[in-house]
A and B are shown apart, each in its own frame.
Chain A
Amino acid sequence: MKTKQKNALKFETDNIHLSDEQIDKHKNFNKLIHEYQAATKPLYKTPLYKNKKVFLVVLIILLIIFIIVEAIQKEENNSPSQNIEQTK
């Protein structure tokens, strides 16, 4: 018997029974240890290309530095010619 109600609860009076086999098939301690090692591994020990977030942040920082350097160089290239024009 299933019913729906306002506060997002669904009441079930059918007995929910699972066999030990059904439960045990989801048991995997090795997977847990693997996930634990991945979750607790220090950031500096993870290769940069394996961490998507860090890789993306570094890429954005490099891009910003490149744009700034380009802008500065452009300004520097423009300024001597302006000075020469002014002296003429």
Chain B
Amino acid sequence: MNQHHKSDKDIQLELQQVNAAKEDPRHFNVLYEKYFKSIYVFIYRRTGDEELTADITSCVFLKALINIKKYEYKGVPFSGWLFRIAFNEVNMYFRKNKANRIVSIEQGGILQMAQEVEITNNTEALKLMTNALKKLDGDDIHLIELRFFEKRSFAEVGEIIGITGNNAKVRIYRIIDKLKRLMKL
């Protein structure tokens, strides 16, 4: 179970909080307090700028509050829906402004990926993997970040990207294979 995992009880409680916010936007405060930090960190990892992150975060919560009446639980927890908004807002910002997006490489994630591509030497892993990652396209990097650097389950990766968990799993393993090939070159 990872840090982002939610039990059925959590999901039910969250649904009650969502329904309360649908009735009265002031009740959104509970969800705002609960997710502000994780959404802020999610965005900051991709921008590296505090003020810009604050602006995008406030857009994310505003969009969430405006559209909360449209949210219905269909297997995707509220947090997944919120992270999807954040993911789209970040992408929209970088598309509009043609700025360079930041990819925050976590050493723990790199070592986990190194195991997947069967590199045993940890000292080499960071250098080799970083060089191989630079050859991937933006969509592949999104999946790698979510799965390995942010330690999310396949289901959560799928929720954020807007695909099924199984599809996310297949795509991530394809990227791993691609990385193996790139590292042999």
> In the complex, which residues of chain B have a beta carbon less than 8 angstroms from the beta carbon of A57?
none
A13 and B130: CB pair below 8 A?
Answer: yes
Please indicate the chain B residues that have their CB under 8 angstroms from the CB of A86 in the complex: none
Query: Of B36, B66, B98, which contacts A36 at CB under 8 A?
Result: B66
A8 to B, closest residue via Cβ: B100
Contact A11 B45 (CB under 8 A): no
Kindly list chain B residues whose C-beta atoms are within 8 Å of the C-beta of A9: 100-103, 134, 138, 141
Q: Name the CB-closest residue of B to A27.
A: B36
**Smallest CB separation, A22 vs chain B (Å):** 7
A16 at the A/B interface (Cβ < 8 Å)?
A: yes
Q: Mark B88-128, 1 if CB is under 8 A from A, else 0.
A: 00000010001111111111000000000000000000100
Q: Tell me the interface secondary structure of chain A in the complex.
A: mixed
What are the interface flags for A32-45 relative to B under an 8 Å C-beta threshold, 1 for contact and 0 otherwise?
11011001100000
Q: In the complex, which of the residues B36, B94, B105 contacts A13, with contact meaning CB atoms closer than 8 Å?
A: B105
Instruction: State the Cβ distance, B108 to closest chain A Cβ, in Å.
Output: 10
Interface assignment of B137: CB less than 8 Å from any CB of chain A = yes
B183 within 8 A of A: no
Contact call B40/A31, Cβ cutoff below 8 A: no
Q: Bound state CA distance, A20 and B36, in angstroms? A: 11
Q: Is A4 part of the contact surface with B, judged by Cβ < 8 Å? A: yes
A8 touches B101 (CB 8 A): yes
Q: Answer whether residue B170 sits at the interface, using C-beta atoms and an 8 A cutoff.
A: no
A12 contacts B by Cβ under 8 Å? yes
Cβ of A29 < 8 Å from any Cβ of B? Answer: yes
B-to-A contact residues, CB < 8 Å: 25-26, 28-29, 32-33, 36-37, 40-41, 44-45, 48, 50, 53-54, 57-58, 61-62, 65-66, 94, 98-107, 126, 130, 133-134, 137-138, 141
